[in-house]
Amino acid sequence: MYADMTEKTVPYQATLEVLEHLIAFPTVSTESNLDLIDFAEQHLIRSGFSTHRLPDPSGRKAGLLARMGPDGPGGVMLSAHSDVVPVKGQDWTRSPFQLTHDGGRLYGRGTTDMKGFLASMLSLAARAATVPLQRPLMLVISYDEEVGCAGIRQMLPGYTALGWQPELCIVGEPTEMRPAIGHKGKASFLATCHGTAGHSSLAPRYVNALHLAAEFIMTLRRLQKDYAASAIQDAGYDVPYSTVHAGRMHGGTALNIVPDHAQIEFELRHLPADAPDHFLSRLQQETEGIVRSFRAEEGAAKIEIERIGSYPGLQIAADHRAVRRVAAISGSHETIKVAYGTEAGYFAQLGIPTVICGPGNMEGQGHKPDEYITVAQLGSCDQMMDRILSESGA
């Protein structure tokens, strides 16, 4: 059994140097990540890895797969995403795309989410070049995770074609180096409400699309109350039930025109037992009732619902062998569940035992102005990487 890690842990200088490079790449999801992928691929090739680049359909982005060690099943796969959230509109006190070391903290966009883990991965790759591996070591670098895990979905055919069969996947999202064994799945939707346009002086003669939208949002609120009162609960989450959230609504062109069009973007973050298809079926039934009432009163009305994105949740037993292994190599035996979504569910759906474990804290540090990771957390991640390398060479 490995000893627990301490707050005195410091990262390798090589990890800090790689992190400085990674932070300097402004890989906001709306921008290209190719410069970062070029850097990572060259680093991995120099370290003796075989690499496979997976471009996105636009050619402006790419994912990267890398492997070292013997052929065949087994080994550990480490996964990180390359994109970061925007800095626009945030009040930073230092340059977001320049690594700043100050008082035991490393500042920069992506330090916590999740270039700190990626830097530790790449630093490990260089050390792996000095060890004859008895088990394969695999690395996955994705794109567009911050926009609904879109990139990994596009990468999966290329990944599965390689036939890799790791015995463990660690997705390095920030958990303060505690093994995370679950998160909710997510499905996002767009509702388009159609009414009839007319002069506002004759408003009762027309179907106001914003009125349809308002009734639709009230329906979402009722469904949320049902989830909150449901017997399907998981106390491992801060919010123990599935949640329904409306994030944006827009419609109308002028005050004196009855709006004939309105849209609502909304989402379901669900526990495994609350299937999105069941939610959508019930919502469509409720929507039909809304539309009928408007047609009876005012004429033409319609609401269309489109699913625009989704990713699976993660659920692995706390006593699973993979969880016990991650607890040992991370130095933390406290398992948690996280509120945010990750790419982990996609790997789990491929039959790979998957655990989330990485440095930093999403709630206190990720996605915020002056995002940072502590030196101690990054050092603890390097320690975990060393233990993976030790096991891979045994």
Give residue 383's pLDDT. 97
Candidates 210, 82, 196, 79; CA nearest to 137 is 79
DSSP string, 94-108: S-TTS-EEETTEEES
Residue 141: per-residue pLDDT: 98
User: What is the structure's pLDDT at 8?
Assistant: 55
pLDDT score, position 285: 96
The pLDDT tens digits for 378-387 are: 999 999 999 9
pLDDT at position 188 is 96
Tokens 């982990």, located at residue: 344
Q: What is the amino acid identity at position 232?
A: I
Q: Name all contacts of 37-43 with Cβ < 8 Å and 24+ positions apart.
A: 37/62, 37/63, 37/64, 37/82, 37/141, 40/64, 40/82, 40/118, 40/122, 40/141, 41/66, 43/18, 43/122, 43/125, 43/126
- For 81-119, what is each residue's pLDDT tens digit? 999 999 999 999 999 999 999 999 999 999 999 999 999
Q: What is the mean pLDDT of each run of 10 residues along the chain (394 residues)?
A: 54 97 97 98 98 96 98 97 96 97 96 98 96 96 96 97 97 98 97 96 94 97 97 95 97 96 98 93 95 76 95 96 97 95 97 98 92 97 97 84
- Helical ranges in the chain per DSSP H: 13-24, 34-46, 116-128, 150-162, 209-229, 276-298, 321-330, 344-349, 362-365, 375-393
SS3 266: strand
How many Å apart are CA 194 and CA 259, to the nearest integer? 9
pLDDT in the model for residue 41: 98
Query: Is there a contact between 116 and 377 (Cβ–Cβ < 8 Å)?
Result: yes
CA distance 162 to 148: 24
Distance CA 141, CA 162 (A): 15
pTM: 0.92
- Residue 137: count other Cβ atoms within 10 Å of its Cβ: 25
For residue 1, the model assigns a pLDDT of 42
